[in-house]
């Protein structure tokens, strides 16, 4: 009896030791940090004071937007979905994707759901490389000075654009000009980040409160946590927290919490970060042999006008400004209304029969709503669209007015 007990001791101890090691490992990461105290405004002023920073790290994005439960498999065609539902036995019906999503739509849905991991390499403002780590695949976005590359390993596709330095300089000088002529009208001194931060917090006062959380650790570095809580009963946003690296001012984590949900609805966090200049070779990209290379022209101002059909007229601009002002007054309860005549025709025409649309939205009186944890959209039967980070209830009230 006793001997048997002794012999089974290792079998009982091993799981405990493994669990203890796992917990100890994660406990180490969240060891208590104590940083010099700072006010909300001081933390805000720290952010991005040095845009010329170089670093590399691994970033995790988690989204729990509460999309309706469904099987949407990106990048398979609707005909494949249809043939699957015809051929599969009835018992398997739960496993058949309900609708397909392709191209930009698939990307958008992917962004709104699930977890993604990316490597990030930044050297100053003009050299950036983002590697989205997919399972057995990868998507790379590289900016190296004037060159912009996109590489999709799964499709073996390269997209390349060249920024015209003259264009960039022009945009910059226009912005500078606008800024310089209007600087004196601003109610704060722009050269002082502290004053800007004070102003932002003061202005936000009626709508939100800023609180400084306890010092924490993100990616092994001490961070200040600044939390903004909206003062609104109809807003879907419960709070938003930004974690700012105490030494460099780089935001290392952002989490947006939704009402009625414990885990953050959207979260981006550095898992690891080092503040060293990444190897220059990382930004020098040559399209691999065998990949399809597409040259994509950077859209110019003229192209953008072509897309919208016409240059904005003074009345359009006035309308837009009035609309914005209206939104600002409503604070967190803001609802954007898109009148039926402003909704692109192909959207309102095709959408009624679109399976993905019916799958993603649910019917309510007078239309359909698309519900996520942070944003609701009401598409009225009369063609109007209402968008807001507010409850469905409020959207319907605004629509009824």
**Which of the stretches 27-35, 282-290, 308-316, 322-330 binds other proteins when contact is defined by CB under 8 A?**
282-290
CB of 274: closest distance to other proteins in angstroms?
A: 12
Judged by CB under 8 A, does residue 15 bind other proteins? yes
CB 224 within 8 A of CB 250: no
286 near other proteins (CB under 8 A): yes
Q: Which of 350, 345, 371, 373 is nearest to 360 (CA)?
A: 371
The smaller minimum CB distance to other proteins, of residues 3 and 90, is found at 3
Q: Does 3 bind other proteins (CB under 8 A)?
A: yes
Mapped onto helix, strand or coil, the DSSP state of residue 76 is: coil
User: DSSP characters for 84-143?
Assistant: HHHHS-GGGGGGS-SEEE-HHHHHHHHHHEEEEEEEEEEETTTEEEEEEEETTEEEEEEE
Nearer to other proteins, 157 or 204 (CB): 157
* Position among 20, 155, 317, 322 found at the interface with other proteins (CB under 8 A): 155
Nearest to 40, CA basis, from 204, 207, 188, 263:
204
Whole-angstrom distance, CA of residue 388 vs CA of residue 331: 11
Out of 65, 118, 158, 273, the only residue in the binding site for other proteins (CB under 8 A) is: 158
Residue 17, both tokens: 């030791």
Q: Which one among 45, 97, 109, 151 touches other proteins, defined by CB under 8 A? A: 151
Token pair belonging to 99? 């609708």
Tell me the per-residue interface mask from 37 to 66 with other proteins, x by CB under 8 A, - otherwise. ---------------------x--------
Among 33, 157, 254, 343, binds other proteins (CB under 8 A): 157
Judged by beta carbon, residue 291 or residue 336, the one nearer other proteins is 291
d(CA 40, CA 47): 11
CB of 206 to other proteins, least distance (A): 40
Please choose, from the candidates 232, 187, 235, 244, the residue with its C-alpha nearest in 3D space to the C-alpha of residue 41.
Answer: 244
Residue 221 within binding range of other proteins, rule CB under 8 A: no
Direct distance between the N- and C-terminal alpha carbons of the chain, in angstroms, rounded to an integer: 80
- Of 337, 308, 332, 309, nearest in space to 322 by CA: 337
Nearer to other proteins, 56 or 227 (CB): 56
* The two three-digit tokens of residue 327, written as one number: 């939104």
13 binds other proteins (CB under 8 A): yes
**Residue 320 lies near other proteins (rule: CB under 8 A):** no
Measured from the CB atom, the residue of 2 and 308 that comes closer to other proteins is: 2
**SS3 for 45?**
helix
**Smaller CB separation from other proteins, 140 or 397:** 140
User: Smallest distance, Å, CB 147 to other proteins?
Assistant: 13
Residue closer to other proteins (CB basis): 65 or 395: 65
Q: Which stretch binds other proteins (CB under 8 A): 16-24, 191-199, 210-218, 347-355?
A: 16-24
Q: How far apart are CA 133 and CA 382, in angstroms?
A: 43
The CA distance from 245 to 229, in Å, is 21
- 132, β-bridge pairs: 118, 139
Report the C-alpha gap between 115 and 63 in whole angstroms: 6
25 vs 307, beta carbon nearer other proteins:
25
To other proteins, the closest distance from the beta carbon of 13 in angstroms equals 7
Pick out residues in 85-144 that bind other proteins (CB under 8 A).
119, 131, 133, 135-138, 140
Rounded distance between C-alpha atoms, residue 348 and residue 45, angstroms: 44
Using rule CB under 8 A, residue 291 touches other proteins: yes
- Shortest gap between Cβ of 356 and other proteins (angstroms)? 19
**Residues, the chain, total?**
401
- Nearer residue to other proteins within complex by CB, 95 or 307: 95
Check: CB of residue 376 under 8 Å from CB of residue 369. yes
Positions in the binding site for other proteins (CB under 8 A): 3-4, 7-11, 13-15, 17-18, 21-22, 58, 75, 119, 131, 133, 135-138, 140, 149, 151, 153-158, 279, 282, 285-292
């Amino acid at each position: 009896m006793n001997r048997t007990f002794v012999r089974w001791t290792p079998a009982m101890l091993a799981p405990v030791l493994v669990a203890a090691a796992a917990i100890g490992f994660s406990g180490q990461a969240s060891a208590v940090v104590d940083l010099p105290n700072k006010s909300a405004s001081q933390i805000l002023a720290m952010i991005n004071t040095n845009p010329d920073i170089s670093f590399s790290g691994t970033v995790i994005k988690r989204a729990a937007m509460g999309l309706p439960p469904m099987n949407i498999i990106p990048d398979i065609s609707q005909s494949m979905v249809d043939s699957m539902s015809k051929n599969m036995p009835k018992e398997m019906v739960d496993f058949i994707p309900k609708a397909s999503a392709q191209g930009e739509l698939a990307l958008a849905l992917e962004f709104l759901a699930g977890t993604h991991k990316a490597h990030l390499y930044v050297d100053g403002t003009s050299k950036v490389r983002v590697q989205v780590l997919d399972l057995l695949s990868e998507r790379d976005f590289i900016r190296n000075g004037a060159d912009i590359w996109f590489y999709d390993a799964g499709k073996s596709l390269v997209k390349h654009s060249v920024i015209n330095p003259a264009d960039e300089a022009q945009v910059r000088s226009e912005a500078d000009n606008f800024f310089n002529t209007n600087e004196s009208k601003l109610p704060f001194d722009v050269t002082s980040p502290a004053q800007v931060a004070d102003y932002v917090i003061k202005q936000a006062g009626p709508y939100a409160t800023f609180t400084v959380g306890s010092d924490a650790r993100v990616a092994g570095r001490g961070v200040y946590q600044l939390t903004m809580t909206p003062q609104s009963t109809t807003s879907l946003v419960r709070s938003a927290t930004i974690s700012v690296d105490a030494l460099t001012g780089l935001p290392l984590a952002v989490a947006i919490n939704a009402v009625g949900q414990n885990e953050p609805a959207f979260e981006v966090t550095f898992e690891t970060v080092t503040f060293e200049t990444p190897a220059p070779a990382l930004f020098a990209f040559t399209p691999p042999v065998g990949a399809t290379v597409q040259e994509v022209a950077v859209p110019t101002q003229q192209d953008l006008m072509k897309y919208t059909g016409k240059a904005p007229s003074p009345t359009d601009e006035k309308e837009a400004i009035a609309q914005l002002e209206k939104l600002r007054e409503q604070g967190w309860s803001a609802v954007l209304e898109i009148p039926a005549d402003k909704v692109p025709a192909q959207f309102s025409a095709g959408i009624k029969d679109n399976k993905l649309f019916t799958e993603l939205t649910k019917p309510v009186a007078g239309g359909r709503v698309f519900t996520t944890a942070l944003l609701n959209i009401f598409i009225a039967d009369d063609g109007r669209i209402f968008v807001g980070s507010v409850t469905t209830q409020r959207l319907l009230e605004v629509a009824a007015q």
